[in-house]
Structure 1
Amino acid sequence: MKKALVSLVAGVMLFAGGGSVFAGQTPLNESVSEVIGTPYKWGGTTEKGFDCSGFIIYIFDQFKVKLPRTSSTQAKTGTEVSKDELREGDLVFFNTSGNGISHAGIYMGDGKFAHSSSSKGVVVSKLSDSYYKDRYVTARRVISSETYSSIVKG
């Protein structure tokens, strides 16, 4: 029932948004929209199920951007970015376990990020949600300006 509801909501969002859960159509938005609702699977890196870092790897592999496997190692990649300088495609990291970086997502603009939630699968959440706001650690820019232009600006 829960899967059906998530699929229904994602379908309505896709229909209402003209094929995307995001306002603007970009290659990054389209790639993320295609897997919204995919279930969480620890260690998952495919459309059968993703964990948070597996989701990020899956999306960025489509744009030929190679990243390390875990969220803690992804958090050491690229260049650190302050929260007020985030742009689409940046990675955001959280301490959800109390033991350092343990969750990650892709910043999608407008204060939102896409991630594979252990309870909801691939979803879009707000950085301002109290759960994520309280657990936010850092962000990293892992794509070049050239790659940014091709995947975010279309």
Structure 2
Amino acid sequence: MTTARTPLARRSFRGIAVAAIAGAGIALSPLPASAAAGGGGGGGVVAAAPVAAPNGVAQAAVDTALAQRGDMYQYGATGPDRFDCSGLTSFAYRAAGVEIPRTSRAQSTFGTPVAKSDLKPGDLVFFYSPVSHVGMYIGNGQMVHASTAGKPVAVVNLDSMTGYQGARRVA
């Protein structure tokens, strides 16, 4: 008996499997000197340094978001091959079984507020006033996000981003 799978289901499964395998390899590799020193060239892409999320839902969301690295930004896109910032975060949490609002501004009022010093993998981090950008914290001072036209989904140092407005925990 064969089970029919949708392209989204295949991509989500493949993405989670790839993230798990890649995470194991990254865990055994040292960070580049610039990333380990907190550098990264003012927003440059850095290697993802895996940190365990506080629960399975948050971990699944992080793994899904990380599996989208390299997919290009497109305003209004919600996946599976192109994303805007809030499309990426809503796609990742939907794959983990949690529905969150679609826009960065709506996401910024969803869930529980979290102090920057208490961030855990899976927390959503928000930027600019009014809020117009969101990323997902992945640990070790890093976040994954879909930044702007012409740029792929990438991991960056959280502190390389300007206009930090706060964070929310949704799982």
Same fold (TM over 0.5): yes
Q: Deviations over 1:69-106 (max 9, x none)?
A: 100000000111110011111100001xxx51000011
Q: Letter of the 2:114 partner, please give it.
A: V
Q: Deviations over 1:97-153 (max 9, x none)?
A: xx5100001110111011101142211111111xx1x3100101111xxxxxxxxxx
Matches within 5 A, 1:1-154: 14=22, 17=26, 21-23=48-50, 27-95=60-128, 99-118=129-148, 119-129=150-160, 132=161, 134-143=162-171
Q: Letter of the 2:167 partner, please give it.
A: A
Q: Distance in 2 between matches of 1:33 and 1:141?
A: 18
Distance 1:24 1:76, change over 3 A: closer
Q: Which runs of 5+ in 1 are unaligned?
A: 1-13, 144-154
For the residue of structure 2 that corresponds to 1:105, the secondary structure is strand
For the residue of structure 2 that corresponds to 1:125, the secondary structure is strand
Q: Which has the higher strand share?
A: 1
For the residue of structure 2 that corresponds to 1:45, the secondary structure is coil
Distance 1:32 1:85, change over 3 A: same
CA deviation after TM superposition for structure 1 residue 21, in Å: 4.2
- RMSD of equivalent CA atoms: 2.2
User: Does the 8 A contact of 1:22 with 1:29 survive in 2?
Assistant: no
TM-score, normalised to structure 2, is 0.65
Tell me the percent identity.
35
CA deviation after TM superposition for structure 1 residue 54, in Å: 0.3
* Structure 1 stretches of 4+ moved >6 Å: none
The structure with the largest alpha-carbon Rg is: 2
User: Does the 8 A contact of 2:50 with 2:138 survive in 1?
Assistant: no
For the residue of structure 1 that corresponds to 2:86, the secondary structure is helix
Q: Distance in 1 between matches of 2:88 and 2:62?
A: 14
TM-score, normalised to structure 1, is 0.72
Q: Letter of the 1:51 partner, please give it.
A: D
